[in-house]
Amino acid sequence: MAYAKNERDMIVLRHEFGVIDAADRPGTLVSTLVAFGEPSGDSAMARTVSLPAAVAARLILDGRIGLTGVRIPVDPEIYRPVLSALEPMGIAFRETRTAP
């Protein structure tokens, strides 16, 4: 599918978690990512797939991620620096917490 001139795509990713805090109070944590493609440029899908991989590769090459082997990005040593590097590129999650 081709985009018309100045048209762009948008991605919305939303995770909703039931949580219990240290005082045993339940609540909800919502993490949302909204990303837009660039008109006449890269799509949001292309950016949200390629940029995290490129950032992680750079961090590994720079020695800022020292873990080895095939891993999923649930380790803070991986996701914290990757998310920090992506934020200036317009790829960032926003989190809200609510009590019931």
For the segment 44-77, what is each residue's pLDDT rounded down to a tens digit? Answer: 999 999 999 999 999 999 999 999 999 888 999 9
Q: Please state, for a pLDDT cut of 90, what percent of the chain lies above it.
A: 75
- Would residue 58 count as lying in a domain? yes
The range of the structural domain enclosing residue 38 comes to 10-98
- Would residue 94 count as lying in a domain? yes
Instruction: Look at residues 65, 36, 41 and name the one whose alpha carbon lies nearest to residue 53.
Output: 65
From residue 77, alpha-carbon distances to 6, 32, 63, 74, 80 in Å are: 38, 22, 11, 9, 6
* Beta carbons of 48 and 54 less than 8 angstroms apart: no
User: Average pLDDT in the 27-44 region?
Assistant: 93
- Distance between CA atoms of 72 and 79, rounded to whole angstroms? 10
Q: What is the pLDDT of residue 50?
A: 96
3-state class of 15 per DSSP?
strand
- Would residue 21 count as lying in a domain? yes
